[in-house]
Structure 1
Amino acid sequence: MLFLMTDQHRVDTLGCYGNPHVSTPHLDRLAAEGTRFESFYTPTAICTPARASLLTGAAPFRHKLLANYERNVGYLEDLADGQFTFSEQLRADGYNLGLMGKWHGGVERTAADYGFDGPSLPGWHNPVDHPDYLAYLAERDLPPYRITDLVRGTTPNGSPGNLLAARLHQPVEATFEHYLATRTIEQLHRYAQEEQGGEGRPFFLATHFFGPHLPYILPDEYYDMYDPSLVELPASVNETFAAKPPVQSNYSKLWAFDTMPLEESRKLVAVYWGYVTLIDRQIGRILDAMRELGLQDRTAVFFTADHGEFTGAHRLHDKGPAMYEDIYRIPGLLRVPGAPQGQVREEFVSLTDCTATILDLAGADTAPAVDSRSLLPLARGEHPEWADHHLAEFHGHHFPYPQRMLRTRHHKLVVNPESHNELYDLRADPDELHNRYQDPALRTVREDLTRRLYDLLRERGDNFYHWMTPMYDVATDYDTTLSSFEKPQPAQERG
């Protein structure tokens, strides 16, 4: 198995998902050779919890690794002892396991602690001071990392905003992305020799690119690859935040969107496209190596991301407490040898479902991946019954902020306990500009989705439903007080 993953990757940047401008021939070929999932979603739009769900097959509320450690708001910083992981199972089944790239799965435990080979690369963005990367540059006489032309806005207190982009003064061969692909190819050769040799060990090899997560730091070739005039900014750059939770307006100020002209925003999107193309070419190198090693006909290949990126949509950058399609819908490609080619599946599937799929491909029991369902039947062209919704959650970034989302084919409900709930009619308003939660015309839809979300949360054991029980017309069989003090007590027996 080869598992290729990006970070903070918008689905609309790929040719196979309809972008007419961005060059992604290698991922487009992967889509043509396998299955493209049209409705592929993350369980939560933040790195560490999403990656922990991939590792465990458990929803974030269940594995409890709920925040990135760099902005931790008091949650756990590592998975609990005894938590099931697919890597533990594959290692027990004799697999070689490798992970090249971003880990971001905890503080104390590294990828090696979960059985993965490869250099430990911590953090949320390219660790360009890592000894293995520096050794890679030195071995090849490549110049060191250096950037200029930094792009950032201005925050509310007048200080410089977060870095959004910069020019990298290195050749492509020196980029961290090229380094990761090279290390992956080297490991692929080692695993192929073992797989084909006397040991016959199968392998699972993952490459987790740190990009196209901001800041977009690229050499000129990619920084200027796309003309900003090609960029059509989304309608949601006209977001007014009317009837929206105030946190969204606050996040817009944090990311300083309004302090930069729209021409700058177009350039940023064009640079982001360049980042996507750079990564696509590195993925192409890995896939070419797989073919050259003769592994094509017996290697399953995944491609996905942990979550999306705003790139100016809703006057936001990065991600955060706003459950829009921009950051919750992600790319999902799966190529399985012998399975139908060029499929497009519409079912709602999730990053978490990759866990059961990996186990299923390995012939292992998928039951321990409790919130995951194998995608193999879909990839093989079967038509099993499938859920007609996606349930997502969020717990905070910078500060605690609990949310739950129910996304159906035509609507989306977001429950925000401290603020305005949200309801979007995605047919009439695909850019999610108009919160229709209080609209009498959608009252029946609102009540139906609220009840469905409540029942789903109770069914899976997500205690968020405790808030919903007294606040909405949902409960028919539940004690909202959870009180034992009001119940008659049996008389004490006399001695």
Structure 2
Amino acid sequence: MTTRSNMLFVMTDQHRVDTLGCYGNPNGTSPHLDALAESGTQFDACYTPSAICTPARASLLTGVLPYRHQLLANYERNVGYAEELSDEFTPFSQRLRESGYNVGLEGKWHVGRQRGPGEFGFDGSHYPGWHNPIAHPEYRSWLAERGFPEPTITDEVRGTFPNGEPGNLLAGVLQQPPEATFEHFLTDRTIARLEEYARDHRRDGTPFYLATHFFGPHLPYLLPAEYLHRFDPGLVTLPASVAETFAGKPPVQQRYSEHWTHDTLSEDTRRWLVAAYWGYVALIDEQVGRLVDALHRLGLWESTAVAFTADHGEFTGAHRLHDKGPAMYEDIYRIPGLLRVPGTDGGRRSEAFTSLVDYTATILDLAGLEPDPEADGRSLVPIAAGNEPTDWRQDITAEFHGHHFPYPQRMLRTRRYKLVVNPESVNELYDLETDPDEMHNRYQDEDIAGVRTDLLHRLYEHLRESGDNFHHWMTSMYPVGGKSYDTSLSDFEGVQHQ
């Protein structure tokens, strides 16, 4: 790109792709996002580098994978990792700011405990934490100015923990009108910022990057009743993976199922929770519609690139799980990915393997800036223009480091197969062509031993070439092509006597 595009970047938290009409949901959950998809490019193989908020968001900010930026866990469940992002990698926001952009972010940050968006070059307040910060003074003042009631919750939905105590809050009725929700508040703030940036753009051509990061549809699903009950649970088809037995799989998955109280909920409740989740998506989709309307009203639509994605997915009962965790299923690693670039044709769909770090490179490209040579992503602009590079990646990796406790994992996803390496447990291998629900772990299946060996070698080479030290364990434990370096890291290795 040689032009300097305006940019509106919308991000949600814990968002399944199958909640959106453009990804196959037939129930009218997302008309505004569907229209955005039709106006641009939809990425059907978009993945998060790590299915947990902070590592994923830090990767978007820096353009590098989590093992490099080292912000590996959410601070609320910190397991001994860093809690603040280092200054080793330059955030894209700083580069935009230095090149003359207005740069704003309204909404969820969750990149560190103390340092907020303002310290990384963004206009906008620091809304901390993993869920809607309803006690934030700016939100409370906004409610008071408009005569809206402060939020209260009724009709709580919980399961039962293994120790017999009430489980995590999963859903509840928010006793507020939709216009008082935190989602509506964030959209109001974004539109006000957009109007400010539009004045600068009209006055002297100053371009802008403006992001809205919604805290939803992350559970618990706390919504006004008309959204919580908007969709009939009878419309919900539970995934085949609700029949998960965890046989031949890492035992930690069974433990997480117990932690999220899945089996203590009735089937009717499970269906209702999925329908409630769709209601949350619908609420956010309406806010996206308000943002797009504002772009049109301000005469910015034709000069503004619009992107939509999420930090990771959500189980919503798949594999008898909720939330996310140490299980690298498509439910939480595949994410929505939409991109509209002015001047390119709409209605395009791409099967290219893409990642959040590609959005980082895309933002820089749209600003006419050279990509960071140290980054791990590539610009999506050529794909959006119908010119997918011939050397685009043919597979994709992901990583996990722990949530509640350390638990290292690495994943390789190809068109047909998925390999997950779990050093302290059993590894996993899924044939996604014959088993799209990832029910049958075929890692020990000798009928596909050649596939297993190939995937292990491919993952090993990816990790070794990129500098991810996880590869050291693989060198000694798996058939990855033979030892070709000093595994003891000793100067005496290989020394010959004279």
TM-score normalized by structure 1?
0.98
Taking a change above 3 Å as real, the CA distance of residues 488 and 346 of structure 1, as seen in their structure-2 partners, is closer
Are the counterparts in 2 of residues 56 and 369 from structure 1 also a CA contact under 8 Å? Answer: no
Q: Which amino acid aligns with 1:54?
A: L
Moved over 3 A (4+): 485-491
SS at match of 1:300: strand
The superposition leaves residues 330-362 of structure 1 with CA deviations (integer Å, 9 ceiling, x where unpaired) of 000000000111000010001110000000000
1:289 to 266, 276, 294: 294
Task: Give the superposed CA RMSD.
Answer: 1.1
The superposition leaves residues 428-457 of structure 1 with CA deviations (integer Å, 9 ceiling, x where unpaired) of 100000000000111010000000000000
C-alpha separation between the residues in 1 aligned to 2:212 and 2:105? 6
Give 1:368 shift. 4.1
Deviation larger for 108-117 or 368-377: 368-377
Q: Which amino acid aligns with 2:98?
A: A
Alignment correspondent of 2:384: 379
1:233 to 233, 238, 244: 238
Deviation larger for 341-350 or 474-483: 474-483
C-alpha separation between the residues in 2 aligned to 1:486 and 1:350? 39
1:276 to 262, 271, 281: 281
Q: Does 1:408 align with 2:425?
A: no
Taking a change above 3 Å as real, the CA distance of residues 286 and 476 of structure 1, as seen in their structure-2 partners, is same
Alignment correspondent of 2:3: none
Alignment correspondent of 1:303: 308
Are the counterparts in 2 of residues 44 and 328 from structure 1 also a CA contact under 8 Å? Answer: yes
Alignment correspondent of 1:319: 324
Q: Which amino acid aligns with 1:379?
A: A
Are the counterparts in 1 of residues 242 and 319 from structure 2 also a CA contact under 8 Å? Answer: yes
Alignment correspondent of 1:177: 183
C-alpha separation between the residues in 1 aligned to 2:166 and 2:453? 44
Alignment correspondent of 1:449: 455
1:153 to 146, 153, 159: 159
SS at match of 2:160: coil
Give 1:487 shift. 4.9
Q: Which amino acid aligns with 2:112?
A: G
Alignment correspondent of 1:216: 221
Q: Does 1:131 align with 2:157?
A: no
Alignment correspondent of 1:193: 199
Alignment correspondent of 1:252: 257
C-alpha separation between the residues in 1 aligned to 2:261 and 2:454? 37
Q: Which amino acid aligns with 2:172?
A: A
C-alpha separation between the residues in 2 aligned to 1:277 and 1:88? 33
Taking a change above 3 Å as real, the CA distance of residues 137 and 415 of structure 1, as seen in their structure-2 partners, is same
Q: Does 1:265 align with 2:257?
A: no
Deviation larger for 456-465 or 473-482: 473-482
Are the counterparts in 2 of residues 355 and 369 from structure 1 also a CA contact under 8 Å? Answer: no
The superposition leaves residues 52-82 of structure 1 with CA deviations (integer Å, 9 ceiling, x where unpaired) of 0000000000000000000001111111123
C-alpha separation between the residues in 1 aligned to 2:434 and 2:493? 49
Give 1:207 shift. 0.2
Q: Which amino acid aligns with 1:484?
A: D
The superposition leaves residues 119-177 of structure 1 with CA deviations (integer Å, 9 ceiling, x where unpaired) of 21000000001011011111111111011011111111111111100000100000000
Q: Which amino acid aligns with 1:335?
A: R
Alignment correspondent of 2:4: none
In structure 1, runs of 5+ residues without a counterpart are none
SS at match of 2:289: helix
C-alpha separation between the residues in 2 aligned to 1:81 and 1:348? 29
Q: Which amino acid aligns with 1:479?
A: D
1:63 to 48, 59, 69: 69
1:396 to 375, 395, 402: 402
Taking a change above 3 Å as real, the CA distance of residues 32 and 358 of structure 1, as seen in their structure-2 partners, is same
Are the counterparts in 2 of residues 357 and 375 from structure 1 also a CA contact under 8 Å? Answer: yes
2:108 to 102, 106, 110: 102
SS at match of 1:163: strand
C-alpha separation between the residues in 1 aligned to 2:271 and 2:82? 38
Give 1:107 shift. 1.4
SS at match of 1:43: coil
Are the counterparts in 2 of residues 356 and 369 from structure 1 also a CA contact under 8 Å? Answer: no
Q: Does 1:2 align with 2:4?
A: no
1:17 to 23, 26, 50: 23
C-alpha separation between the residues in 2 aligned to 1:396 and 1:335? 34
Taking a change above 3 Å as real, the CA distance of residues 297 and 71 of structure 1, as seen in their structure-2 partners, is same
Alignment correspondent of 1:482: 489
Q: Which amino acid aligns with 2:446?
A: P
Taking a change above 3 Å as real, the CA distance of residues 173 and 70 of structure 1, as seen in their structure-2 partners, is same
Give 1:201 shift. 1.3
The superposition leaves residues 161-217 of structure 1 with CA deviations (integer Å, 9 ceiling, x where unpaired) of 11100000100000000101111001100000001113x211100000000000000
Q: Which amino acid aligns with 1:288?
A: D
C-alpha separation between the residues in 2 aligned to 1:487 and 1:180? 61
SS at match of 1:344: strand
Taking a change above 3 Å as real, the CA distance of residues 441 and 129 of structure 1, as seen in their structure-2 partners, is same
Alignment correspondent of 1:141: 147
TM-score normalized by structure 2?
0.97
The superposition leaves residues 263-307 of structure 1 with CA deviations (integer Å, 9 ceiling, x where unpaired) of 100000000000000000011001100111000110000000000
Alignment correspondent of 2:438: 432
C-alpha separation between the residues in 2 aligned to 1:88 and 1:187? 18
Are the counterparts in 2 of residues 22 and 273 from structure 1 also a CA contact under 8 Å? Answer: no
Are the counterparts in 2 of residues 84 and 369 from structure 1 also a CA contact under 8 Å? Answer: no
Taking a change above 3 Å as real, the CA distance of residues 383 and 155 of structure 1, as seen in their structure-2 partners, is same
SS at match of 1:370: coil
The superposition leaves residues 21-71 of structure 1 with CA deviations (integer Å, 9 ceiling, x where unpaired) of 142110000000000001011000000000000000000000000000000
Give 1:369 shift. 5.3
SS at match of 1:162: strand
Taking a change above 3 Å as real, the CA distance of residues 413 and 399 of structure 1, as seen in their structure-2 partners, is same
The superposition leaves residues 95-137 of structure 1 with CA deviations (integer Å, 9 ceiling, x where unpaired) of 1111100000101210110011112100000000101101111
Taking a change above 3 Å as real, the CA distance of residues 192 and 471 of structure 1, as seen in their structure-2 partners, is same
C-alpha separation between the residues in 2 aligned to 1:306 and 1:370? 18
SS at match of 1:372: coil
In structure 2, runs of 5+ residues without a counterpart are 1-6
